[in-house]
Amino acid sequence: MDEHKRAPGRYGIDEIEASQLEKWPNAHPERDYVVHLETPEFTCLCPRSGFPDFATIIIDYVPDQHVVELKSLKLYINSFREVKIFHEHVINVILEDFVAACDPLKVEIEGDFHVRGNIKTVVRAAYQKAQP
């Protein structure tokens, strides 16, 4: 069978379904610095209508001993595309998962959602590690 006539594979789909946030050692734990990440193609589904919601997710964090591995973040963010979840909840879920995976000194996550029904929604959630 010709390559172009084969049924579409699951390239990427299996990776997204199995995604987990991964971390790498921070090469500069001796200083505080901010890592700014933006994912402008976030999608999830409205729990009431089932219609897609689109957003830019912004993550600003100060790493401690680890930094997030970027491909794992991309796959993790893409894992929400078929999930029915409210804007407020998804940002808090991302925050909790990010903190559990990377244990940053501090992090703020913002979801800047596209206008839906004449309402623009921006949700921010933050975490700061307690200092000893």
Residue 50 in tokens: 């089932």
Q: Domain segments of the chain: what residues?
A: 3-128
Rounded to an integer, what distance in angstroms lies between the CA atom of residue 51 and that of residue 115? 13
User: Residues with Cβ < 8 Å from 117, sequence gap 6 or more?
Assistant: none
Q: What is the pLDDT along the chain (132 residues), one digit of tens a residue?
A: 455 554 555 656 676 676 789 999 999 999 999 999 999 999 999 999 999 999 999 999 999 999 999 999 999 999 999 999 999 999 999 999 999 999 999 999 999 999 988 999 999 999 999 987
- pLDDT score, position 128: 98
Catalytic residue among 44, 53, 102, 112: 53
What's the angle, vertex CA 55, arms to CA 49 and CA 59, rounded to 5? 135
What pTM value is reported for the model?
0.87
Active site residue 53: yes
CATH number of 3-128: 3.30.1130.10
- Summarize pLDDT for 37-53 with one digit per residue, the tens: 999 999 999 999 999 99
Catalytic residue among 14, 44, 46, 112: 46
Active site residue 102: no
